[in-house]
Structure formats: C-alpha cells, structure tokens
C-alpha cells in the first residue's frame, strides 16, 4: 500500500511525500526509524482503472493557467507564504484535474522542492516558457515580479490567439452550415420534385438536370465521397505528425490568403512578448531565444529563432539574422536593430507587441465586416441558382397547364 505523509525533521522543517508499506503501522515505523516526527499519515485511495484512463482526456486550459499565475502574483505580493498561496488556489480551482496538479505542486514545495521544479513535474499544464521565467525569478529573488510578467504575457497570448482563431472559425462555420443545408435539400427535397418534373415529360434545362444528377449521386454514392474525405482528412492528420509534414503544414498556414498574414503577425507579437517578458525577468539573450523558440508553435519560425540564437553566440545581432527571412517584416527588423543599438531592446519589444496586437485587432475587425456581406452574397447566389434550377421548370409546367 501507499501512504501520503507529512513529517517534521529534527530541525523543525516539514516534509511531505509518499511511502510504500504493507500497512499503516509499518509505514509509521519506517518514518519514525528515520528520526522523523509524523504529523499526518493517510492511505492513498486506489483509483478505479477507468478513472485513471479518463485523466488522459483531461487538460488544463490556457485561461486557467494565466488566471492561476495572476492570483499567485497577488497572494505572493501580499506576503502570503508560497505553500499557503498554492493550497488556497488549489481549493478554489474548478477544474478538478488542475486542482490535483496545484495540490501536488504545493506538497512538493512544502517538501523542500523549488517552485519552478515542482511546476516542471507537470509539463502538460506549465510550458517551458513558464518554468524558465519562474526559475529566473527565484534565482534573482523577484518571484512576485516574474509572476506578474508571466500572467501578463500569458493573458495577452491567450486573447490574441482567441481572436485569430475566431476570425478563421466564423467563415468556416457559415460555409459548413450552408453546405449541410444544401445537402439536406438535395437529399430530402429535390427527389420529390424530380418525380413531378419527369412525369411532365418536358425538356429540362441543363442546370436542372445537373441538380437532379447531383441529388441522385449524393443519395446513392454519397457514402463514397464521405469515406474519401475521411480518408484524406486522416492522411493529412497523420502526415502532419511527421517532421516533413509539420514543415509543409506550417508553411501552408503562413501562405493562406488573408489569414496567413494574420497568423504571421500573431507569431511576431507572441515572439516579441515572450522575449520582452524573459528580458524583464533577467534571462540572458541566448536562453531567451531558446525559450521563445519553444513557445512559438510554428517550425518555420522556430528554425529561424534557433538560428538567431546560434548566430548571437558568435557575435551577430538578432536583427541581422531576422532580416534575412521574409517571415520577418522590415519594420520588425528595423525596430529590433534600433533597440539593439540604443540599448532599449526590452522597450522596443514591448512596443512591437503592442503594435502587432493592434494590427491584428484592426485586421480581424475589418475582416469580420468584410466577410459578412461576402458570405451573404455568396449564400444568396447559391440559393438563387438552386431555386432557379428546380422551381423554374415547375413554374413553366404550371403555366402550360
């Protein structure tokens, strides 16, 4: 059996952890044999196998993470002990999976582990960027400041990516809805009208014949199209997992008309924000570039950032490497170069973050206003063609009678 313990050593320091023993008395004897005063000893409850598997599908949302660090910065700034702050937030967490993680972090810190190391034990919840910023704050004795920088950066990144995804999902949702409605009309409405038109025995226009053929094909062989689409989707999904597939996919995202520019600006804003937060936290340029490269979820940008890191080691500037690539606009490189020459790189990065965030907001707002009338016109044309192809022959038939 396993038992969770909370003990105090001869120096009065508390420690926590897990010990294995046949029963509670054996666990107690084991701990006392190490000259430890047992404060608390509880058996670890066995978890049903299915419940363990369910955890595979549980996750911690990015919003929950930045709210956690925001609350931590407030509590630590109020001189509340770190362990007490963690336990307080652990009890308040609505996501029970995240609650378990915070509780484990609190127990690890209470047992003498550093905060950054305790967070590092849970990579699914806390990123490489998060760990490094916290670690730097611990070393410099500025944990509260690091928590503030971290919360600000994660919050900006979350809302930025939310706007970008929202801009892309909206038109896809409208088009998908139109496609579903169109298929339902072809499958359920057109066949009943087709019988009437065929019985009339009149010559049907080309557009009507095409609609009837499409309806028949979908009803009889639509499953073939569905299987083909599912096969293509599965193949693309598997190919994206390969190194070469990831490269092609990330290149494709940057070349999508209109949306590619939005995605590019989002990465630039994320990079500038990450570097700014890391510099504020006292992280070296080399380490900041390594961490920022891990944060960017795009292989193309990662390769460029890592190359810049290697070139900086040999004495080159960041801007001189970035300006060699089309992914980095001249404005971004020029402002970086100015920051490097004047020693105000951190300030310049903050301005770049603000600039690209506003750029994305403007593009997304304008895009939303532009897409709506385009979609309405497109849907109107689609419905008009469908009505003309189906109902015009019926109207002519009725006129002939």
Q: Taking residues 100-126, report their average pLDDT.
A: 89
Query: For residue 255, how many other CB atoms are within 10 A of its CB?
Result: 11
Cβ-proximal residues to 18 (8 Å cutoff; 6+ apart), any chain: 2, 3, 4, 5, 44
Q: How confident is the model at residue 399 (pLDDT cuts 50, 70, 90)?
A: low
pLDDT at 53 over 70: no
Rounded CA separation 252/323 (Å) = 21
Confidence at residue 52, expressed as pLDDT on a 0 to 100 scale? 45
Per residue in 361-393, pLDDT tens?
888 777 767 777 777 787 778 777 777 777 777
Q: Quick check: 111 pLDDT over 90?
A: no
Residue 294 has pLDDT above 50, yes or no: yes
- Binning pLDDT at 50, 70 and 90, where does residue 205 land? confident
| Widest Cα–Cα separation across the chain | 105
Question: How far from each other are the two terminal CA atoms of the chain, in whole angstroms?
Answer: 88
- Give me the mean pLDDT over the 103-123 stretch: 89
Phi, psi of 15 (to 5 degrees): -140, 150
d(Cα 319, Cα 237) in Å, to the nearest integer?
35
Span of 22-31, 42-51, 137-146, 365-374 with lowest mean pLDDT = 42-51
| 16: phi then psi, degrees, rounded to nearest 5 | -140, 160
**What are the tens digits of pLDDT across the range 163-179?**
777 777 777 787 788 78
Per-residue pLDDT tens digits for 246-293: 899 999 988 888 788 888 998 999 899 889 888 887 888 898 898 888
How much is the pLDDT for 202? 65
pTM of the prediction?
A: 0.67
Residue pair 264/327 in contact by the 8 Å Cβ criterion? yes
102 contact partners, CB below 8 Å, separation of at least 6: 68, 86, 89, 90, 93
**How many angstroms separate the Cα of 301 from the Cα of each of 79, 305, 317, 389?**
40, 6, 17, 49
Contacts of 190 by beta carbon, 8 Å cutoff, 6+ apart: 211, 212, 215, 390
| Token pair 């967070």: residue | 119
- β-partners of residue 42 are 4
User: Tell me, what's the pLDDT at 85?
Assistant: 92
Closest CA to 356 of 374, 325, 342, 335: 335
The DSSP output letter for 296 is S
Residue 400 has pLDDT above 70, yes or no: no
Taken in order 380, 383, 385, 387, the sign of the CA dihedral is negative
Altogether, the residues listed in the chain come to a count of 401
């Amino acid at each position: 059996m396993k038992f969770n313990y909370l003990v105090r050593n001869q120096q009065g320091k508390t420690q926590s952890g897990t010990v294995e023993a046949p029963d509670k008395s054996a666990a107690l004897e084991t701990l006392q044999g190490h000259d430890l005063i047992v404060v608390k000893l509880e058996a670890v409850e066995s978890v049903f196998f299915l419940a363990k598997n369910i955890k595979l599908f549980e996750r911690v949302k990015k919003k929950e993470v930045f709210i956690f660090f925001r609350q931590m910065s407030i509590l630590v700034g109020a001189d509340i002990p770190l362990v007490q702050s963690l336990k307080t937030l652990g009890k308040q967490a609505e996501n029970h999976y995240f609650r378990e993680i915070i509780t484990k972090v609190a127990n690890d810190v209470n047992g003498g582990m550093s905060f950054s190391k305790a967070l590092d034990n849970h990579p699914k919840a806390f990123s490489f960027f998060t760990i490094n910023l916290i670690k730097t704050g611990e070393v410099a004795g500025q944990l509260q400041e690091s928590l503030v920088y971290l919360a600000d950066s994660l919050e900006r990144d979350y809302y930025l990516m939310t706007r970008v995804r929202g801009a892309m999902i909206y038109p896809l949702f409208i088009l998908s809805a139109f496609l579903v409605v169109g298929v339902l009309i072809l499958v359920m409405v057109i066949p009943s009208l087709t019988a009437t038109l065929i019985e009339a025995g009149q010559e049907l226009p080309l557009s009507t014949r095409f609609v009837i053929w499409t309806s028949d094909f979908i009803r009889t062989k639509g499953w073939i199209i569905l299987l083909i689409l599912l096969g293509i989707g599965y193949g693309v999904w598997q190919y994206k997992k390969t190194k070469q597939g990831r490269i092609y996919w990330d290149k494709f995202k940057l070349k999508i008309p209109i949306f590619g520019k939005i995605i590019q600006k989002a990465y630039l804003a994320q990079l500038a924000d990450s570097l700014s937060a890391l510099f504020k936290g006292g992280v070296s340029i080399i380490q900041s570039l390594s961490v920022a490269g891990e944060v960017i979820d795009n292989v193309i940008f990662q390769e460029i950032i890592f190359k810049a890191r290697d070139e900086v080691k040999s004495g080159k500037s960041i801007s001189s490497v970035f300006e060699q690539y089309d992914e980095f606009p001249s404005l971004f490189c020029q402002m970086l170069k100015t920051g490097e020459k004047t020693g105000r790189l951190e300030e310049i990065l903050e301005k770049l973050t603000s600039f690209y965030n506003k750029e994305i907001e403007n593009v997304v707002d304008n895009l939303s206003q532009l897409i709506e009338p385009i979609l309405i016109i497109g849907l109107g044309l689609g419905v008009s063609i469908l009505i003309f192809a189906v109902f015009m022959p019926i109207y002519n038939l009725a006129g002939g009678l």
